[in-house]
Amino acid sequence: MMQLSGKAVSGGIVLGPIFVPDRKKEQIHCVRITDTEAEIDRVRAAVKQVKVQLQALADRALEEAGESGAAIFEAYELMLEDADYLEAIYDDIRMEKVSGARAAAATGERFAELFAGMEDEYMRARAADVRDISERLADLLDGGRETDFFPEEPSVIVADDLSPSEMVSLDRSKILAFATIQGSVGSHTAILARMMNIPALVEVPVNLEEIHTGMIAVVDGFEGTVTFEPDEDFRLQTEKRMKKEQEQLQRLESLKGRKTATKSGKKIDVYANIGSEDDVAYALENDAEGIGLFRSEFLYLGRRDFPTEEEQFQVYKRVVQRMAGRKVIIRTLDIGGDKQADYFNIGIEENPAMGYRAVRICLKQPEIFRIQLRALFRASVFGNLSVMYPMIISEEEVRQILRIAEEVQAELEAEGYPCQCPEQGIMIETPAAVMVSDELAELVDFFSIGTNDLTQYTLAIDRQNERLADYYDPHHKAILRMIRMVVENAHKHGIRVGICGELGADTELTEEFVRMGVDELSVAPSMILKVRKTVREIS
């Protein structure tokens, strides 16, 4: 019996035979191109073919994982229409005289590295999407290679990695669980696993040379372990746990459509954190009562120039319309730090987490900020939209923001656009904002506490620094006292306060947050029903 630990991305526990796919990658043929424009035409034709494939995957995902699963592949189609991505491929062909397959693979890797280097977990996870779509395009251009990736019986998939397209291509009845060496908690593969209720682990340090198809394994998505060749006692314990887990899943599903309130009747709003328009379907699938954090910076990343007002307006409009009256809180761009876009000309900073980022860019380069506010204010007439400003440290910053917002609204009205000034709130994610939250509460309509940055700034620890992992304690007394102070100051001035950082989904703290008076918890869509269950059990 051998047990390994990884990161759990989807809960559940299963026992079954493993399947190790044979996916030895062939090298892309190295061909010198003389007629570059003809090769570019070949890429354009291949893009159309890949779109057809993606539509078939979207249809299959709709059956297996619902609307939110299909939205993943619709997002892939949009990626294939991205002018920056396609032009980068064409530029490689023209300048390097390489084949379309080589150019697609190289471009995909460059774009993937851009996302992989970001601190935000959601953005890092998009690197896998770029690789997936680029590999699909490159393989088609290089002859359409196929791999042996289809188990004949229900199996636990153990592989180096697993892409969303591979996952959806498999017969759902043949996937008991999966455990991969690579991958991330925020990847679309992980999202599909949660939607399809497939227990799954990533970052499992398994040596694929030591295991083989047909071995028995137990994947535990709660403990984050995979056990190969379990003994008889372990198997019996697993079978009992599997039966109990099935009963618990049925109880969670029964909470859809139910109110999130304590036994004494205190209502708590449980919203979803999302990173793109496509995630709206996933939020609705999990019965989110609203969107507590919509990360707008995805509109600015992976491109060569700023998104236009009209581009942004259409995205914001579609999001609020799809939420059909439920609250949508959109955070203004949080570029900088780990999320870089060259065309912002931020430059290299020694300490980017404390550098030129977020609202600081907006106030130093107000022309960028004004375009986003115009799009937001125009979209606000189509639904229940609120705007939230990140990285606030002072009252003067807020006053500057509100002055710009007033000017933008006046401009739009003078130009004849239907618009309105939505609710405006700020993120409390710096110790400075906590200490002046009493004064800040007089200026805005709501607070949202970003516990991720608040924790790292308060403890002076980079949360991505593995050497300091033992010191990084989001349950630190200082953090909890700060949250309590913010809640008290907000309520003293009659405004609501929510938590949109990772602590919002920490069910060990849910009761404490409720007793503090937190009005709203915004969490990953997969955690909505679990948090609702916890709240409903509070006396």
Annotated binding residues for phosphoenolpyruvate, written as ranges, equal 295, 331, 452-453, 463
Binding site residue list:
295, 331, 429, 452-453, 463
Which residues are annotated as part of the binding site for Mg(2+)?
429, 453
Residue whose C-alpha is closest to residue 529's, from 319, 260, 181, 235 = 260
From the list 300, 427, 278, the residue with the least C-alpha distance to 372 is 300
DSSP class of residue 332? P
Please report, for the chain, how many H helices and E strands are present, in that order: 19, 16
Task: Say how far apart CA 365 and CA 393 lie, in whole Å.
Answer: 18
Contact 332, 362 (CB under 8 A): yes
- Any idea which residue has 């600081």 for tokens? 360
Segment (H or E) for 176: strand 175-180
Query: Using CA atoms, how far apart are residues 4 and 210, in angstroms rounded to an integer?
Result: 13
Helix (H) or strand (E) holding 178, with range, is: strand 175-180
Identified catalytic residue from 29, 188, 212, 491: 188
Active-site residue, selected from the candidate residues 30, 475, 491, 500: 500
DSSP 420-443: ---EEEEEE-SHHHHHTHHHHTTT
Helix (H) or strand (E) holding 45: helix 36-65
Distance CA(124)–CA(339), nearest Å, equals 10
535 close to 485: Cβ distance less than 8 angstroms: no
3-state SS class at 228: strand
Is 188 in the active site?
yes
Which of 203, 196, 182, 48 lies closest to 128, judged by CA?
A: 182
What size, in residues, is the chain? 539
- State the Cα–Cα distance between residues 81 and 89, nearest whole angstrom: 12
**Which residues are tagged catalytic?**
188, 500
